């Protein structure tokens, strides 16, 4: 499925235009140099149904990452059990990087320069991505299970806080 060497999300995401298609679309959209300026057109307004009320989980990108890692594991002669173990260890590695980013943000290592909130956020998102890739490596229904897990855990958290601090 993937060519030898590097590939991009365009190579692995379904329904993505090929780079040549993207260039052709850009060129087609450009007005001819001798054309008369057209009347300004009003901006296109999308119907409300087309705009999701919540951000969508990028399932295709995560599934593509799993396929890419599976391919890499085969090329490196890494078996499925070891590959999964390495993906779980990657989560732990990213947790360490998030911890280091927090230490940097709070200036708790005087030998190093202070970090930024953006660095911390990036590392936390790397933790989440690594965890989702590891979960997606174990089951095909990871997205539905993740959604149900988030809903159950957040409901439990909200209920616990409400019980602890009633009336607030």
Chain center to CA of 19: 21
C-alpha triplet 133, 94, 111: angle, nearest 5°: 165
| DSSP letter, residue 153 | H
The encoded tokens of residue 115 equal 């970090």
User: In whole angstroms, what is the distance from residue 109 CA to residue 114 CA?
Assistant: 8
pLDDT in tens, 53-102: 677 889 999 999 999 999 999 999 999 999 999 999 999 999 999 999 99
Does the structure show a pLDDT above 60 at 134? yes
% pLDDT > 90, the chain: 60
Distances (CA, A) of 73 to 28, 43, 146: 41, 47, 25
Question: Which tens digits make up the pLDDT trace of 100-118?
Answer: 999 999 999 999 899 999 9
Range(s) of the domain holding residue 90:
57-140
- Asked whether residue 155 is domain-assigned, the answer is no
Answer whether residue 130 is part of any domain: yes
What pLDDT is recorded for position 125?
98
Identify the pLDDT of residue 165.
Answer: 86
Q: Is residue 151 part of a domain?
A: no
The answer to whether position 126 is within a domain reads yes
Domain presence at residue 149: no
Q: Is residue 77 part of a domain?
A: yes
Q: Over the Cα atoms of the chain, what is R_g?
A: 23
pLDDT tens-place string over residues 18-55:
444 434 334 444 444 444 555 655 555 544 555 556 77
Domains in the chain, number = 1
The pLDDT, as a whole number, for residue 39 is 61
Whether residue 74 lies inside any domain: the answer is yes
Decide if 3 is inside a domain. no
What per-residue confidence (pLDDT) applies to 56? Answer: 83
């Amino acid at each position: 499925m993937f060519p030898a060497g590097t590939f991009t999300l365009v190579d692995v995401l379904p329904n993505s235009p090929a780079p040549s298609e993207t260039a052709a679309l850009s060129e087609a959209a450009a007005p001819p140099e001798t054309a008369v300026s057209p009347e300004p057109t009003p901006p296109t307004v999308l119907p409300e149904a087309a705009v999701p009320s919540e951000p969508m989980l990028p399932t295709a990108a995560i599934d593509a990452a799993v396929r890419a890692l599976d391919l890499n594991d085969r090329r490196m002669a890494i078996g499925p059990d070891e590959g999964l173990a390495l993906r779980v260890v990657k989560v732990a590695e990213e947790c360490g990087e998030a911890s280091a980013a927090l230490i940097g943000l709070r200036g708790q290592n005087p030998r190093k320069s202070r970090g930024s909130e953006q660095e911390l956020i990036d590392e936390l998102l790397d933790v989440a991505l690594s965890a989702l890739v590891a979960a997606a490596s174990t089951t095909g229904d990871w997205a539905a299970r993740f959604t149900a897990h988030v809903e159950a855990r957040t409901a439990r958290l909200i209920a616990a806080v409400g019980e602890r601090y009633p009336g607030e």
